[in-house]
Amino acid sequence: MSEILRGLTRDGSASILVINSTDIVNEAIRIHKTSPTATAALGRVLTVTSLMGTTLKDKGNSISVNFRGDGAGGHILAVSDYMGNVRGYIQNPSADLPLNSRGKLDVGGLVGRGTLNVIKDIGEKEPYVGITNITSGEIAEDIAVYYAESEQIPTVCALGVLVAPDGSCSAAGGVIIQLLPFAAEDTVLAIEKNASELSEISRLFAQGLSDRQIADKALAGIDYDVFDTITVSYRCTCSRKRVGRALLSLSPYELFNILAAEKVMKVNCQFCDREYSFDGADIEKLREEKKREDEEKDSEKKSGDN
Ligand SMILES: [Zn+2]
């Protein structure tokens, strides 16, 4: 379990979100067996996506953060619900790189250059899609650029994942501070000044600092109130039905060939690695079920049109 603190400066100039995501990152390591650099990259994306999820308004809303870079790690995707529960994967979990020139895990190199796609499903017909270029691939900077360019929200973002020599995550966490319209200049200057304190945020969590103590550093000299704290975790929402439906997107010819060769089709969920197996009769059942549901939807639509 991880905890997110949500707060607001008393003058209404800025909001703050803080998470200690160590447990989420360790669950990702367990599922995806990531290399140290892949752990840092995926861990940072999971951490920030969880925070971004808590800015959604309604139950059923979700947000997908997709780094589509050309680095050795391949694409990284994380999805969060509106309460900050998050799941994700990295295309090449075993990809690794030497430490960068500053002696740090080379997340920017592993991610590479490309685009950052943020998709918000907020229950409307079309989801909101924001696309920006990946600036450094270090994740936090890219997210700040996304907010500035795509949502016009000045944002301070700090993310960190500390990987122990045994490959586990010893500490991980993140902070997002966002300015609200008509922010007071003094508050903005103080936030900018404090931001350097957050440059080694995973070390602060490793030293045992709480979310509250991190918020105190980020907002030193500024009065603020804690709005609430919420408990979040790495959580997958896959089901046999959902995985089966994805299989139906293969052509009948492809399905027939696979079943002819293997008798049983095994599919692993890309987020939690749970295995689902389907034989020919299962596929037939899925197909009929989908047909029935499509017909029902059609007749509902028709009666709605009348
Ligand atoms: Zn799953």
Segment 84-100, tens digit of pLDDT: 999 999 999 999 999 99
Q: Kindly state whether residues 84 and 150 are assigned to the same domain.
A: yes
Q: Kindly state whether residues 256 and 193 are assigned to the same domain.
A: no
Q: Kindly state whether residues 217 and 250 are assigned to the same domain.
A: no
Protein residues within 5 Å, CB atom, of ion ligand 1: 236, 238, 269, 271-272, 274
CATH number at residue 178: 3.55.30.10
pLDDT value for 306? 56
Range of the domain at 43: 2-232
pLDDT value for 168? 98
Q: Kindly state whether residues 119 and 247 are assigned to the same domain.
A: no
Question: Which pairing describes strands 2-9 and 275-279: parallel, antiparallel, or unpaired?
Answer: unpaired
pLDDT value for 211? 97
pLDDT value for 252? 80
- The stretches of 165-279 forming alpha helices (DSSP H) are 185-194, 201-206, 211-218, 240-247, 252-262
pLDDT value for 297? 82
Q: How far is the CA of 45 from the centre of ligand 1 (A)?
A: 18
Q: pLDDT under 50 in the chain at which residues?
A: none
Question: How many CA atoms, within 13 angstroms, populate the side-chain half-sphere of residue 214?
Answer: 34
Q: Kindly state whether residues 86 and 121 are assigned to the same domain.
A: yes
Q: How many CB atoms lie within 10 A of CB 189?
A: 11
Q: Kindly state whether residues 225 and 251 are assigned to the same domain.
A: no
Q: How far is the CA of 246 from the centre of ligand 1 (A)?
A: 13
Domains of the chain: total = 2
pLDDT value for 258? 79
Percent of all residues in the chain with a pLDDT value above 90, rounded to a whole number? 77
pLDDT value for 291? 87
Question: Where is 231: in which H helix or E strand?
Answer: strand 224-232
- Per-residue model confidence as pLDDT tens digits over 102-121: 999 999 999 999 999 999 99
Q: How far is the CA of 31 from the centre of ligand 1 (A)?
A: 10
Is-contact 69 37, C-beta < 8 A? no
- Per-residue model confidence as pLDDT tens digits over 24-64: 999 999 999 999 999 999 999 999 999 999 999 999 899 99
pTM above threshold 0.85: yes
Query: Domain ends where: 205, 232, 259?
Result: 232
Query: Domain ends where: 190, 215, 232?
Result: 232
In whole numbers, what is the pLDDT of the chain averaged over residues? 94
Q: How far is the CA of 273 from the centre of ligand 1 (A)?
A: 6
pLDDT value for 13? 97
CATH number at residue 284: 3.90.1280.10
pLDDT value for 115? 98
pLDDT value for 105? 95
